[in-house]
């Protein structure tokens, strides 16, 4: 695993849990975690269960005993590390968004396509796909339960930047993060909308806003970008993105990605309305779906709760008895299960780098639309999601 921050902890839980809960087709060994700070990454290895730590990712990728490379670094290094790993014959899991630019994402998708010809697999970490209720939402739409999709509403709202004294972290600098709320959390709702509907976002109109334009520099040694001492630095990414997308099936989708929604800590919601019904998911109630059946008798209509904890529901059979809830970390375990299974079966895991590129092109189109006063902007060549 290259990187050891917040996502490093989450991915480590997944790698550690999956072999003990699911019957994986291959054994998993957590061999080495890599970071620039030797002491900090050694501490992470000991805490999270990695056999060893290292500071040179190139040397680790060159090792014959490494089969899979898991990238959880900031976006500015995704392309370099992923392409090198694929060329070295390693399977790759890369955190979202795939890259910081469309050009980087295209290069990664091309490298993944070439590697696939040699049996090397790659996958993007859009982990919310693997929340059982979200997978079930996709399955029910594919079955036609809500009929023809007519409208999608998706939002991802957080509030960790409301305080203007929050220091200037790497996520607030374009050279490291690529974009702000748009890429960090907006990428999730773009992927989720495409995943659950089976459609692509073909054109967009939107606006980006940076609410706090300068922030205090981060203290040295914190693990975040910045310098020691007093002073402020420029925020070079967006704090808030609001946009509308036209789906390939003709429906409209509205999206909101913000880190300034006061009181909202990690509120991801999506609602899909069709001509026969509707389905709604809320991450703050992640073991449930809300279902509205418009074909039911008038005296029995209304949103009802589906408790997604039955063994027949996606991923659930390996866990606990019905009604015993799963949490945020379980999606990372399911991610490992799907990746290892695909590698063993010789099949393409999803979301692929091509699907990650599809999201990247939507992010780029939103930025271009905002630069032109919200003009309708076409998305680049679409990639059909699976």
Domain 129-378 fold is Dihydrodipicolinate Reductase; domain 2 (3.30.360)
pLDDT tens-digit readout, 149-177: 999 999 999 999 999 999 999 899 989 98
Residues 6+ apart with CB under 8 A from 266: 158, 283, 284
In angstroms, the CA 220 to CA 97 distance is 27
pLDDT at 383: 52
pLDDT truncated to tens, each residue of the chain (386 aa)?
999 999 999 999 999 999 999 999 999 999 999 999 999 999 999 999 999 999 999 999 999 999 999 999 999 999 999 999 999 999 999 999 999 999 999 999 999 999 999 999 999 999 999 999 999 999 999 999 999 999 999 999 999 999 999 999 989 998 998 899 999 999 999 999 999 999 999 999 999 999 999 999 976 544 444 444 569 999 999 999 999 999 999 999 999 999 999 999 999 999 999 999 999 999 999 999 999 999 999 999 999 999 999 999 999 999 999 999 999 999 999 999 999 999 999 999 999 999 999 999 999 999 999 999 999 999 986 554 44
Q: How far is CA 375 from CA 105, 206, 312, in A?
A: 24, 7, 45
- The Cβ-side half-sphere exposure at 188, using a 13 Å CA radius, reads 24
> Does CATH number 3.40.50.720 belong to domain 6-127?
yes
The answer for residues whose C-beta is within 8 angstroms of residue 191's C-beta and 6 or more apart is 96, 126, 128, 129, 351, 355, 359, 385
The domain ranges of the chain are 6-127, 129-378
**Residue count (the chain):** 386
Residue 195: name the closest of 13, 359, 343 by CA. 359
Report the predicted TM-score, pTM, of the whole model to 2 decimal places: 0.94
**d(Cα 281, Cα 241) in Å, to the nearest integer?**
21
What mean pLDDT, rounded, does the chain reach? 95
Helices 78-87, 102-116: crossing angle, 10 deg rounding = 10
Model pLDDT, residue 224 = 42
Query: What is the DSSP code string of 281-298?
Result: EEGGGTTEEEEEETTS-G
Do the beta carbons of residue 343 and residue 68 sit within 8 Å? yes
Query: What region, left, alpha or beta, does residue 328 occupy, with left being phi > 0 and alpha being psi -120 to 50 degrees?
Result: alpha
């Amino acid at each position: 695993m290259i990187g050891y921050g917040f996502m490093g902890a989450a991915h480590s839980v997944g790698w550690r849990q999956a072999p003990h809960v699911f019957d994986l087709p291959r054994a998993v060994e957590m061999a080495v975690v890599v970071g620039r700070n030797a002491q900090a990454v050694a501490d992470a290895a000991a805490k999270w269960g990695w056999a060893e730590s290292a500071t040179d990712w190139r040397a680790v990728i060159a090792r014959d005993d490494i089969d899979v490379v898991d990238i959880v670094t900031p976006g500015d290094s995704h392309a370099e590390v992923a392409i090198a790993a694929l060329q070295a014959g390693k399977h790759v899991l890369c955190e979202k968004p795939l890259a910081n630019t469309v050009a980087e994402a295209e290069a990664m998708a091309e490298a993944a396509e070439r590697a696939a010809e040699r049996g090397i697999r790659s996958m993007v970490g859009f982990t919310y796909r693997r929340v059982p209720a979200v997978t079930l939402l996709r399955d029910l739409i594919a079955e036609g339960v809500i009929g023809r999709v007519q409208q999608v509403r998706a939002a991802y709202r957080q509030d960790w930047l409301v305080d203007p004294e929050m220091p200037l972290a790497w996520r607030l600098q374009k050279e490291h993060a690529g974009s702000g709320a748009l890429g960090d959390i907006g990428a999730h709702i773009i992927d989720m909308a495409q995943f659950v509907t089976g459609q692509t976002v073909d054109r967009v109109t939107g606006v980006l806003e940076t609410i706090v334009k300068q922030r205090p520099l981060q203290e040295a040694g914190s693990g975040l970008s910045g310098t020691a001492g007093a002073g402020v630095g420029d925020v070079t990414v967006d704090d808030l993105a609001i946009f509308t997308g036209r789906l390939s099936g003709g429906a409209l989708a509205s999206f909101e990605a913000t880190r300034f929604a006061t009181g909202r800590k990690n509120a991801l919601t999506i609602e899909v309305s069709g001509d026969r019904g509707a389905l709604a998911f809320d991450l703050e109630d992640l073991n449930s779906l809300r279902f509205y059946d418009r074909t039911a008798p008038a005296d029995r209509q209304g949103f009802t709760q589906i408790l997604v904890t039955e063994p027949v529901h996606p991923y659930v059979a390996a866990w606990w008895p019905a009604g015993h809830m799963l949490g945020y970390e379980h999606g990372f375990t399911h991610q490992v299960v799907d990746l290892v299974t695909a590698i063993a079966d010789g099949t393409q895991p999803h979301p692929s780098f091509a699907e990650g590129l599809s999201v990247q092109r939507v992010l780029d189109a939103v930025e271009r639309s905002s630069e032109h006063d919200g003009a309708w902007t076409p998305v680049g060549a679409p990639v059909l999601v699976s």
